[in-house]
Amino acid sequence: MESSTFRKWLVEHGCRIDHGEHHKRHEGQVTVTVHRGGRSTEVPLGGSRQILDGRTVRQACEELGLDPAKLPGPASRV
């Protein structure tokens, strides 16, 4: 799943994304903090065409209390 698609899906499901991007542990990976209700998680949403690892997407959904089965695209993708 592309980063831009996941970002749009998160916003459609009531998430707020901090616009201040930051590097995680000096590894060069750009992440953003996503909030939903009283939950939050860090997700690598740096580039709009970046392909995200399915495990990362699934983990972010679980931490935010979202159902990963409702993600757009083929169910086999995640």
In sign, the C-alpha dihedral spanning 58, 62, 68, 69 is positive
pTM attached to this predicted model? 0.81
Torsion of CA 2, 69, 63, 37, to 10 degrees: 100
Q: What is the pLDDT along the chain (78 residues), one digit of tens a residue?
A: 899 999 999 999 999 998 765 655 556 677 889 999 999 999 888 777 888 999 999 999 999 999 999 998 765 454
Show me where the domains of the chain are located: 3-67
On whether the CB atoms of residues 44 and 29 are closer than 8 A, the answer is yes
